[in-house]
Amino acid sequence: MTRPIAALALVVGLSNPAIAQALPPLEEDPTVVSGFYAIGLADEVRKNCDDISPRWIRAVTFLNSLKNYAERKGYSSADIKALRNNDAAEDALRYRIRADLAARGATPDNPEGYCAVGRAEIAAETQAGRLLSAH
């Protein structure tokens, strides 16, 4: 009787990708990466442009949606916590965001560039733009 149970466990395991194989690191998931990129871009814009403010409720709601997405994919609370505490991944993302902003004219020497990027994101209704409000 143990063989049918073992066989059933094997079939169930193979039909669930999260169980059948290890998940890639959460910081490599494209949805999570693009979500954190949008949050980081919006944060840099709002910190450097007085004419644009954050939409805090939308930001918190969006963060919760990323957490729910990760949980649905099979990531554990420990995986999510590890991502929150991953300084190397955060630094790499921050570098990417700042390079993108600089390429778009937003630098500490040109604070108006942050406002221009923010207004463009808002107008294009990107995820970062939906996290911002222009005055």
The beta strand positions in 23-131, using DSSP E, are: 52-54
Q: Is residue 6 part of a domain?
A: no
Q: Is 91 left (phi over 0), alpha (psi -120 to 50) or beta?
A: alpha
Q: pTM, whole model, 2 decimals?
A: 0.81
Alpha carbon separation from 134 to 11, 18, 23, 51 (Å, rounded) = 53, 41, 39, 6
Lowest pLDDT segment from 8-17, 88-97, 99-108: 8-17
Q: Which pLDDT belongs to residue 22? A: 82
Say if residues 131 and 54 touch (Cβ distance below 8 Å).
yes
The domain total for the chain is: 1
Note whether residue 130 is domain-resident. yes
Confidence band for 84, pLDDT divided at 50, 70 and 90: confident
Domain that holds residue 77: 25-134
pLDDT digit string, tens, across residues 9-57: 334 444 444 454 688 999 999 999 999 999 999 999 999 999 999 999 9
Q: Quick one: tokens of 91?
A: 């630094």
Position 121 in a domain = yes
